[in-house]
Amino acid sequence: MAQAKKSIAKALKSVDLVVEVLDARMPPASANPLVEELRLTRQRPVLKVLNKSDLADPAVTKSWLQSFRAQDNLFAVEVCSKHKSDVRNLIREARKQVPHRSDAIKPLRMMVMGVPNVGKSTLLNAILGRSVAKAADEPAVTRSVSRYDLDEKTIIYDSPGLMWSKLDSRENAYALAVNNAIGVNAYVPEEVAVFLAEKLRLFYANRIFDRYGFDSSNLDANDILQKIGNIRGARIKGDEIDLERSANILLTDYRKGKLGRITIQVPN
């Protein structure tokens, strides 16, 4: 991370706009304060991109956009990399923020930044219309700053995913783990699944019923994991519920979108 920070800080000298990619399902958790620190050091404007919007609750995404846009000098758009219209809108919004950089002599220079696994590389490939950045459903794939020319008027820099050296917020840490932005060796699946189950119980109880066929209104998060394990036959010796297996069933279903469009974090 120290090397990534150094290379990004150097590249920002030649950048007009920071495009901060967030996961629309967890905007606060996926917003590394280091991105803000680096851009403010160079006094660069920022465009917040709520990526993976096709996986997030559309009503909550709308609320997040309103919350961001209510702040001074902060701009935000929602994007699904699969939708060309979303990608075109992102470029339009970026150009609007830096109108004085709009031709071959003074091209718009923007840097894509964000934490690992928020879809930066997939989004970059969608913007450029070709596969230039390696994309994978795991953290820390991009390791250095790279430059790409979109056209004669637009230059894009891709940057390494910036993860914290330490996560002080338990809520953010669990949200990142739920959305696979933290390596699997850094968390306990049962704990993360309990966090997810509690969010589902509070805000998306109907999704539990639709997917697993039981009413969770009178259950706590641990009971929900027990029920899922029982229904899916996740058992260990002695006919006890295998909570690790049950946790992975819930996490996998969520990550594959089998529980529907869900947002883990909502605006205050």
What pLDDT, in 10s, does the model give residues 98-155? 989 888 899 999 999 988 888 888 999 999 988 876 654 444 445 578 899 999 999 9
Using only the alpha carbons of the chain, give its radius of gyration.
20
CATH topology of domain 188-255: Conserved Hypothetical Protein Ylqf; Chain: A; domain 2 (1.10.1580)
Please state the domain extents for the chain: 2-158, 188-255
Q: Do domains 2-158 and 188-255 have the same CATH topology?
A: no
The H helix count followed by the E strand count for the chain is 10, 8
Homologous superfamily (CATH) for 2-158: P-loop containing nucleotide triphosphate hydrolases (3.40.50.300)
Distance CA 203, CA 198 (A): 9
Residue range 171-213, pLDDT digits in tens = 999 999 999 888 888 899 999 999 999 999 999 999 999 999 9
| Nearest to 107, CA basis, from 156, 153, 147, 157 | 153
